[in-house]
C-alpha cells in the first residue's frame, strides 16, 4: 500500500497543479468574455485542495494520495468539464456518464462512512449485507437529494436543469437510476474484499483512506 501511496503522491504533484492551472485559465477566459457566473464557478474549483485537507482533519485519518487523485479527477470531470465548460448542455450522454460515475464514488464514500461509524472496525464477510444495505441507502438518498436540489434551482432561478420542458420526468428518473446502478456496480468488488480480501482499485483507495495518523498508530 505504501508503494502505491508514494506513486500517487508523485502523480498528484503533476495533476493537482494542472487542475489548478486549467481552472485558473478558465476563470480568466470567462472573465474576459464577461461570463462572470462561470468565472466564479471556475474560481470556486480552486478551493478543492484546502477542502481536502479539512476533510482529513474531520475524519481524523491519514492523508490518502489515492483518494486525493480520485476526488481531483472526479471534480475535474463533473465540475470543470461538465459545468464550467458546459459539456452537460452539449450532450446528454455526458450527463448520464456523470451520474453513473457519481454512484460509484458515492458508494466508496458511503463505505468509508460505514467504517468510521462502526464500533467494530472490521470488514468481515458476515457484515457484507449490512454494509451493502448502508452503501445503497446512501447512494439512493444522495441521488434523490441531488434531483431535489436541481428542482429547487429551477424554481429559484427559472432554469431547467432537469429538462422537464423537453423530457418530463424521464431525465430525472434516468439520472437516479444510473446513479443507483453505479452504486450497485461497486458491490461485487466489496463482496470480494469482505469475503476473500481481494483488493481492487476502489477498495485499495478505501484501505488507504482508513489509515490512522501515524501518531495515533504508535499509541
pLDDT given for residue 196 in this prediction: 78
CA–CA separation, 78 and 101 (whole Å): 9
Contacts 24+ apart (CB under 8 A), 61-64: 61/209, 61/210, 61/211, 61/212, 61/213, 62/211, 62/212, 62/213, 62/214, 64/5, 64/205, 64/208, 64/209, 64/211
Tell me how crowded residue 186 is: count the other CB atoms within 10 A of its CB.
24
Cell matching residue 133: 444495505
Give the number of residues written for the chain. 219
pLDDT at 153: 75
Rg (CA), the chain: 19
Q: What pLDDT is attached to residue 163?
A: 60
C-alpha cell read off for 150: 436541481
User: Would you write out the chain's pLDDT as a tens digit for each of its 219 residues?
Assistant: 688 899 999 999 999 999 999 999 999 999 999 999 899 999 999 999 999 999 999 998 999 999 999 999 999 999 999 999 999 888 888 989 999 999 999 999 999 999 999 887 788 888 999 999 999 999 999 999 988 887 787 777 666 555 655 566 787 889 999 999 999 999 999 999 998 778 877 898 999 998 877 545 444
Amino acid at each position: 500500500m505504501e508503494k502505491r501511496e508514494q506513486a500517487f503522491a508523485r502523480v498528484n504533484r503533476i495533476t493537482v497543479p494542472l487542475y489548478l492551472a486549467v481552472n485558473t485559465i478558465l476563470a480568466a477566459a470567462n472573465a474576459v468574455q464577461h461570463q462572470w457566473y462561470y468565472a466564479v464557478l471556475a474560481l470556486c474549483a480552486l478551493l478543492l485542495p484546502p477542502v481536502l485537507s479539512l476533510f482529513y482533519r474531520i475524519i481524523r485519518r491519514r492523508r490518502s494520495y489515492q483518494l486525493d487523485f480520485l476526488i481531483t479527477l472526479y471534480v475535474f470531470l463533473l465540475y470543470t468539464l461538465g459545468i464550467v465548460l458546459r459539456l452537460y448542455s452539449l450532450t446528454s450522454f455526458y450527463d448520464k456518464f456523470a451520474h453513473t460515475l457519481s454512484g460509484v464514488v458515492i458508494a466508496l464514500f458511503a463505505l468509508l462512512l460505514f467504517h468510521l461509524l462502526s464500533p467494530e472496525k472490521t470488514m468481515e464477510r458476515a457484515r457484507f449485507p449490512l454494509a451493502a444495505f448502508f452503501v445503497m441507502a446512501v447512494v439512493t438518498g444522495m441521488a434523490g437529494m441531488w434531483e431535489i436540489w436541481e428542482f429547487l434551482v429551477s424554481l429559484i432561478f427559472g432554469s431547467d436543469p432537469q429538462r422537464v420542458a423537453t423530457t418530463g420526468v424521464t431525465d430525472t428518473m434516468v439520472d437516479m437510476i444510473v446513479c443507483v446502478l453505479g452504486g450497485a456496480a461497486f458491490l461485487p468488488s466489496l463482496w470480494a474484499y469482505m469475503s476473500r480480501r481481494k483488493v481492487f482499485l476502489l477498495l485499495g483507495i478505501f484501505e488507504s483512506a482508513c489509515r490512522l495518523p501515524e501518531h495515533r498508530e504508535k499509541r
